[in-house]
Structure 1
Amino acid sequence: MRHRLAAVSAAALLCLGGTAGVARAEPAGPSAPSALVLTIAQGNGAAEGTVVRAAVLSCAYTAEGTHPAPRAACDAVNATGGDLGRLLTAPAPGRACPKHYDPVTITADGVLRGERLAWKHTFPNACMMSAALRDDPVFTF
C-alpha cells in the first residue's frame, strides 16, 4: 500500500506540471496550484503505520480528485492558510472517548498554492480523531 500511495502522490504532483510531467515554477498565491494526498493511517504515521484510507484533492480553478466532496474540502484547506492544525476543534461538551492508546494519524502531503506542504497529526485513538474533526470536510472520506 505504501508504494501505491507514493505512486498516487507522485502522480498527483506531476499533474501540476502539465502533460510533459515537468513541474513549472508558479508564483505562490490564491491562484497557484494545489494538489494534496490525504491519508488516515492506523499508527504513528503513513510511513510507520497502515494507511486505511487515502484521497487525492486537487484545488485548481475547479475542485477535483478522488475526495468525495472536493469543493468543500478545498474551501476548508484554503481557509487554513496552510496551517491545517486549524481544522482541529475541541471535543464537544459531553463527548467521552476511551483513554486507550491506539494511535491514528492524518497526513496531507503535496502542494498548497504553489508551496510544498507536508503536515501530519497523530491522535491517541479514532474516537479522539472523530471528536477533533467533527466539522471538518477535508478528512471526511
Structure 2
Amino acid sequence: MRHRIAAVAASALLVLAGSAGAAQAKPDSLYAPSALVLTVAQGDEQATVVRASTLSCAPTAQGTHPDPQAACAALAATSGSLDRLLAAPAPDRACPLHYDPVTVTADGVWEGKRIAWKHTFSNTCAMSTTLDDNHVFAF
C-alpha cells in the first residue's frame, strides 16, 4: 500500500512537471500553474505516507482532493506561504500530551513557483485542531 501511494504521488509529480525542460514560445494558458501533491504521513523524519491527494487550482479547481474548490480557496488566502495555514490551535480543544508525530507535505507549483513544504505535528489531535479551519489537508 505504501509503495502504491508513493507511486501515485510520483506519477502526479511527473504530470505536474509536464514538459518543464522544453522551451515554448507561447504559454499554454493565461494562468500560472498551481498544482500540488498533498500528503499526510505517520512519523517525522522517516514518515510513512498514509494518505495522498492531488490538487490543481488554475484555471479551475480539480484533482483527487475531495473538495478542491475549498482547498484552493484556502491556499489562495495564504498567497503561497503555506505556513499561514498553521493557525493557532482551537483554544476550546485540549489534546493529549503524547508524541505520535504526523507530517503533512505539499509539493508542486503554486502560481508558477516551485513549492516543497513540510510540517510535523506532535499528534493527530494537534494537527486537526490547527488545520481544521482550512480544507487543504481534509482528505
Does TM, normalized by the shorter one, top 0.5? yes
Counterpart of 1:55 in structure 2: which amino acid?
Answer: S
Task: State how 1:45-60 maps to structure 2 within 5 Å.
Answer: 45=45, 48-60=46-58
Structure 2: which 5+ residue stretches go unaligned? Answer: none
CA contact (8 A) 1:42 1:104 kept: yes
SS at match of 2:93: coil
Aligned residue in 1 for 2:121 = 123
**1:15: how far off?**
3.1
**1:92: how far off?**
1.8
Q: Identity rate of aligned residues, in percent? A: 67
State the TM-score, normalized to the length of structure 2. Answer: 0.84
SS at match of 2:127: helix
SS at match of 2:116: strand
State the TM-score, normalized to the length of structure 1. Answer: 0.83
**1:14: how far off?**
3.6
CA contact (8 A) 2:13 2:37 kept: no
CA contact (8 A) 1:102 1:124 kept: yes
CA contact (8 A) 1:9 1:110 kept: no
Task: State how 1:50-129 maps to structure 2 within 5 Å.
Answer: 50-129=48-127
Structure 1: which 5+ residue stretches go unaligned? Answer: none
Shift in alpha-carbon separation, 1:25–1:62, aligned structure 2, 3 A: farther
Residues in 2 aligned to 1:6 and 1:34: alpha-carbon distance in whole angstroms: 21
Residues in 1 aligned to 2:23 and 2:105: alpha-carbon distance in whole angstroms: 24
- Cα RMSD (Å) of the superposition? 2.2
CA contact (8 A) 2:43 2:102 kept: yes
Residues in 2 aligned to 1:25 and 1:65: alpha-carbon distance in whole angstroms: 26
